[in-house]
Amino acid sequence: MLKQCSLCGYTYVEGYLDTEIAHDKRHNKFAQSIAPAPCLMLEPYLEQYPEGAWIDRGGPSWLREEIYWRAKLFQREFGYDTPQWEIDGRSDPSAIGFAFYDSDYRIIGASCFRPDHTSDERMRLDWVWLCPSARRQGVLMSHWIKFRDRCGIFLIEGPVSTAMLKFLQRHFPDHRVSKPYISYPTRPMERFSDIKQ
C-alpha cells in the first residue's frame, strides 16, 4: 500500500524494503530535530567558539547539516516549497546559521540570517525554528539581544508566524518585517510532541 508519512512527508510503499529504508532515513532526521539527543560535537565546538553556535559557509559540515534539518522542519511546518539553508552553501554563501542548544548540548532549534540586499545591507532574520518542547520557554527572548549585538536592528523576513508576530509586537516592535503578512502552520509540529529520543 502507498503511504505518505504525516511528519516527514515521504511517500513509500509498505512492504518494499528499499522505500521503507529510504523513509526511515529521512524520518529519523525529522524525529531527531523534534526530540534531539545531546550532540557530541557541540561542546568542543563551543569551547572553540564561545560566542555561540554561529556558522558561516566555511563552518563544519556536521553543524551545517544540523541547521539544514531544522530548515526542513520549518519548511514542513509551514508548507513552504524549499528549505532556506543549504548544507554546502554553494549558491547561498552569505547565509549565517545559528543553533540553539540546551544545557545538555541538545540542538533545540536553529535560525538563519542573511544580508538584505534590498535595504541598506542590514542583516535580515530569514527564519527561526524551535522544537515544540522548547517553545514558550523564553529561548528566543534570551538570545535576541545577542542577535542585535551581532546584527544590529535586523529586518525580519516576512511572512511571519502568529507566534513571531506576537513576540515582536509585545517585546521588539522596532524591527521591521519585510513582507508584513502572516503565515499559518499547515502541520503544527506540536502534533508530534509525543516523539521521544
Ligand X SMILES: CC(C)(COP(=O)(O)OP(=O)(O)OC[C@H]1O[C@@H](n2cnc3c(N)ncnc32)[C@H](O)[C@@H]1OP(=O)(O)O)[C@@H](O)C(=O)NCCC(=O)NCCS
Q: Catalog residues that contact ligand X under the rule CB under 6 A.
A: 127-130, 135-141, 160-161, 163-164, 166-167, 170-171
Measured from the CB atom, the residue of 23 and 73 that comes closer to ligand X is: 73
Phi, psi of 155 (to 5 degrees): -75, 160
Which of 79, 60, 103, 67 lies closest to 6, judged by CA?
79
User: Nearest to ligand X by Cβ — which residue?
Assistant: 161
- Asked if residues 162 and 183 have their Cβ atoms less than 8 Å apart, the reply is no
Least separation, in Å, of the C-beta of 2 and ligand X?
A: 30
How many amino acids of this chain bind Zn ion (CB under 5 A)? 4
Residues 27-46 that bind Zn ion (CB under 5 A): 27
Indicate which of Zn ion, ligand X, none lies near residue 5 (CB less than 5 to 8 Å, by partner kind).
Answer: Zn ion
Q: How many CA atoms lie within 13 A of 168 on its CB side?
A: 21
* Binds Zn ion (CB under 5 A): choice among 1, 2, 3, 5: 5
Distance CA 44, CA 56 (A): 17
Measured from the CB atom, the residue of 27 and 122 that comes closer to Zn ion is: 27
Measured from the CB atom, the residue of 25 and 179 that comes closer to ligand X is: 179
Measured from the CB atom, the residue of 44 and 79 that comes closer to ligand X is: 79
User: Nearest to Zn ion by Cβ — which residue?
Assistant: 5
Distance CA 138, CA 140 (A): 6
Which residues lie below 8 Å from residue 118, measured CB to CB, with a gap of 6+?
178
Quickly tell me which residue has 504525516 as its cell.
6
Beta bridge partners of 111: 98, 128
Measured from the CB atom, the residue of 25 and 136 that comes closer to ligand X is: 136
- List residues near Zn ion by CB under 5 A: 5, 7-8, 27
